[in-house]
Amino acid sequence: MTVSAPKEKAILVGLDLNHRPSDSATEPTAEESLQELQVLAESAGAEVVSTHLQTRDKPVAATLIGSGKVEELGEEVKALQADLCLFDRDLTPTQLRNLEKALPCKVLDRTQLILDIFARRARTREGQLQVELAQLNYLLPRLTGRGTAMSRLGGGIGTRGPGETQLETDRRRIYRRISRIESDLERVRRHRGVQRRQRRSVPLATVALVGYTNAGKSSLFNRLTGSEVLADARMFATLDPTVRHLVLPSRRRALLSDTVGFIRNLPPTLVKAFRATLEEVGESSLLLHVVDINSAWAAEHTAQVMEVLRDINSGQTAQILVLNKVDLLPHPPDAPELKAVARRLLASADPTDSGSNIGEPGVVAVSAATGEGVGRLLAMVDQLLPVDPLSVDWFEFPPSAGSQRHLLHEYGRVLEEHWTGDSCYIRAEASESLKRQLSNFVRTQSPVLL
């Protein structure tokens, strides 16, 4: 019998500014952001024992929050025996250092918490390298100014005299490790590039699932492909990209990619580190933008996803707005309601866009849990993917063309197959792109079969 480790007790701390920027209409309030931080903390395995939200005109340069609130936090940490304080803002190196001195517990900011969740979730070697790279890039500027604790002289020949401080040694070691990880990830990107070129040589379009974390992307991925990718209510349950075949109603096949969930203020170090993963989005012919239709923050989540898509130069890629979890609504929305919801969500993402580019057939309501609406979604994907018409033709393959014959069996619908002499004659329904791949084997006339 395994005994699970006790959960760490966490105190959440947020800051609400009296004067919010004029362009923050789509930003969540400080209370909503603190609620999201609590979900993140629980996803990381912490038990939230208390929350604090201080209202100020501006952040305090030294400690983010006021000195009185810092003292109050210190007393509460002792009283509740809390293990860590989580701040709902990124802390500067100075703020982090001062808070660590003032509070008798660990101090983490929002980015550190997200990085910790990513480190827990990464399973593949690529994902682990990406997380480590993001952590090192975050740590590097925070080494500065840690004082004499990180400044001790080495021993042995060549280290006498002023020598090299431990801080400089640590910084140099981190730079070397970052360089090594970036080289490893560059090899991953080249390998992915080879895979994408191979996929493009076979007539397969790529469809990518994108959306805010916990919108139900992995559940929809499993429903569409029959896979068993981890689907969990915790944030960032899926980190490592997964690609599976998707069979469309027209019998065309596409590749469906499940990607990492987005979140507001996604740390820049993570966006940079996960470039190899996000390249799957950039190479896609169509995006399925999954939105939790039941979320009170659906508009804000849509805006955050659209912002990340623009950051990775995928904002102009064709999209289908997939309103998920429709089974939890009191009644299924009709077509006019869907169009109204789509316009409202897109207006929040880009006030200059009236949502006219997302109407029918650009929006569909589905339930990944029950399968409702999945058929309509597949038909919509079939309609919006690049046109690749089907036709019935005869093909003739010599014995040496086994791989090409297998390609036709794999991606076409074989109607007849005959061996005559040293040739194999196949009558099959195939897409135009597949016929181009097999152009040397297409017969313009029906063969005379004995």
Listing DSSP states for 269-298 in one string gives HHHHHTHHHHHHHHT-SEEEEEEETT-TTH
pLDDT digits (tens, 9 = 90+) for 21-34: 544 555 668 888 89
> Among residues 46, 119, 413, 71, which one has the least CA distance to residue 267?
119
Token pair listed for 99: 């808070």
The DSSP line for 384-410 is HSPP--EEEEEEEE-TT-HHHHHHHHH
pLDDT digits (tens, 9 = 90+) for 126-148: 778 888 888 888 888 877 544 44
CA distance 318 to 288: 9
How high does pLDDT run on average in the chain?
80
Identify the pLDDT of residue 158.
39
In a 10 Å sphere around its CB, with 0-12 CB exposed, 13-18 middle and 19+ buried, how is residue 281 labelled? buried
Identify the pLDDT of residue 406.
92
- One-letter amino acid at 5 equals A
pLDDT digits (tens, 9 = 90+) for 181-218: 889 888 877 877 777 666 666 557 788 898 887 788 88
Q: How confident is the model at residue 385 (pLDDT cuts 50, 70, 90)?
A: confident
* Torsion angles phi and psi, residue 333, rounded to 5: -70, 145
Decide: 275 and 188 in contact? Cβ < 8 Å: no
- Residue recorded with tokens 């993402």: 349
Sorted by sequence, the CB contacts under 8 Å of residue 8 that are 6+ apart come out as 45, 46, 47, 83, 84
Sorted by sequence, the CB contacts under 8 Å of residue 379 that are 6+ apart come out as 249
CA distance 444 to 418: 17
Helix, strand, or coil (residue 11): strand
Identify the pLDDT of residue 98.
93
* Torsion angles phi and psi, residue 442, rounded to 5: -80, 135
Q: Where are the domains of the chain?
A: 8-117, 124-148+163-202, 203-384, 390-443
Same fold, 8-117 and 203-384: yes
pLDDT digits (tens, 9 = 90+) for 323-350: 999 888 887 777 778 788 888 887 766 6
Q: How confident is the model at residue 44 (pLDDT cuts 50, 70, 90)?
A: confident
The answer regarding whether domain 203-384 maps to CATH 3.20.20.70 reads no
Token pair listed for 319: 């999209």
Q: What sign has the CA pseudo-torsion 122, 126, 132, 136?
A: negative
Strands (E), 73-126: 84-87, 106-109
Q: How confident is the model at residue 395 (pLDDT cuts 50, 70, 90)?
A: very high
Q: How confident is the model at residue 161 (pLDDT cuts 50, 70, 90)?
A: very low
DSSP β-ladder status, 106-109 and 84-87:
parallel
CA distance 275 to 33: 26
Residues in the chain: 450
- Residue recorded with tokens 């099959």: 428
H or E stretch at 50: strand 46-56
Token pair listed for 222: 């499993």
CA distance 221 to 246: 10
pLDDT digits (tens, 9 = 90+) for 83-93: 999 999 889 88
The answer regarding whether domain 8-117 maps to CATH 3.90.550.10 reads no
CA distance 326 to 324: 6
Decide: 354 and 347 in contact? Cβ < 8 Å: yes
